């Protein structure tokens, strides 16, 4: 077995082009999109609860799953907010 044969299996790291960054998602867009998704999941859960109460053909487990997904998304969003606030506080302390 040749020692050089292993180099065929090693992938080279991708070097990003500093000039062409438009194809990568930006943090503010990702955060805005995630907030929109959290809002959509909350609205969907609310619609499912309303539909279930009105007697539509919606199973209880589907309502519970939608509610838990909305709750988990909201909790994740709150944690991201808390970390961002902590980061901001730490940065302001570093400037002093």
Q: Enumerate the domain spans of the chain.
A: 18-95
What confidence score (pLDDT) does residue 21 get? Answer: 58
Average pLDDT, integer, range 13-41: 76
Report whether pLDDT(1) > 70: no
Residue 42 has a CB neighbour count (10 Å cut-off) of: 17
Rounded mean pLDDT, 56-71: 95
Burial (CB count within 10 angstroms: exposed 0-12, middle 13-18, buried 19+), residue 44: middle
Q: What is the pLDDT of residues 39-59, one digit of tens each?
A: 999 999 999 999 999 999 999
Number of H-type helices and E-type strands within the chain = 2, 0
Q: Say if CB 96 and CB 90 are below 8 A apart.
A: no
Percent of the chain having pLDDT more than 90?
A: 64
């Amino acid at each position: 077995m040749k020692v050089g044969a292993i180099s065929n299996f090693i992938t080279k790291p991708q070097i990003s082009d500093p000039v062409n960054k438009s194809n990568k998602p930006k943090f503010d867009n990702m955060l805005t999109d995630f907030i929109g998704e959290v809002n959509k999941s909350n609205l969907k859960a609310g619609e499912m609860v309303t539909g279930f109460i009105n007697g539509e053909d919606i199973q209880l487990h589907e309502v519970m799953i939608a509610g838990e997904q909305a709750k988990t998304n909201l909790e994740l969003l709150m944690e991201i907010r808390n970390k961002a606030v902590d980061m901001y506080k730490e940065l302001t302390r570093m400037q002093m």
